[in-house]
Amino acid sequence: MLTHLQVWSAIDRLASRAGLSASGLARRAGLDPTTFNKSKRITAEGRARWPSTESIAKALAATGTPLDVFVELVNSGGDGAAAKAVPLIGFAEAGAGGYFDDGGFPVGEGWDQIAFPQVSDEHAYALEVSGASMEPAYRDGDVIIVSPAAPIRRGDRVVVRARSGEVMVKELKRRTGKSIELRSLNTAHPDRTLAAADVLWIARILWASQ
């Protein structure tokens, strides 16, 4: 028998798979941000409130999730991976002081959080993309998971912070002791070459919600 808890838990897992909170999933689906909030799951009279099939369909479309995958989330909890709370800020905020130490590890206050499964790096964090400067790789509203501890190789997509405070997302073309060559994800923006001494830190992008 299908239970109220099974369906709502599956929605929570669907949001986690996309690197979103429940409200973030609702916004991505074009719904009221409170549609999937825990406060909406029980009526004022204490009765269980079920999500509508329309809201579920929009959430599946927004995350590109087939119906059979959602059914697996309902029946078995998906892959069974435990979700981890990952710090989250907007990409536009990443250049401000106080969010990272000199090694690129998240510090300080002001971070939000999202639940995300299968993140082994305890220092991993999430950035929410704003604007169109990273299209078509990443679009406005996408969430990228970044690991400051992961090894970086040529061809990896990375987040780079310059000593000037500029933060950028690029593809690593070449790295030497003197310089770092970066390829832009958006062809409308030029590639960059930075002196190694001008780069404060560089971190690898592990995953993106798209």
Distance of alpha carbon 41 from alpha carbon 67, whole angstroms: 22
Distance of alpha carbon 8 from alpha carbon 11, whole angstroms: 5
Distance of alpha carbon 46 from alpha carbon 24, whole angstroms: 25
Residue 82 confidence (pLDDT): 52
**Residue (of 119, 208, 198) closest to 169 by Cα position:** 208
The model's pLDDT over 124-172, given as tens digits with 9 standing for 90+, comes to 898 988 888 888 888 888 888 899 888 899 999 999 999 988 999 999 9
4-76 has which fold?
Answer: 434 Repressor (Amino-terminal Domain) (1.10.260)
Number of Cβ within a 10 Å radius of residue 98:
9
Residue 80 clears pLDDT 60, i.e. is over it: no
CATH class of domain segment(s) 93-208: mainly beta
Band (115; pLDDT cuts 50, 70, 90): low
Q: Within 13 Å and on the Cβ side, how many CA atoms surround 121?
A: 19
Band (116; pLDDT cuts 50, 70, 90): low
4-76 and 93-208 share one CATH topology?
A: no
Domain assignments of the chain as residue spans, ordered by start = 4-76, 93-208
> 0.85 exceeded by the pTM?
no
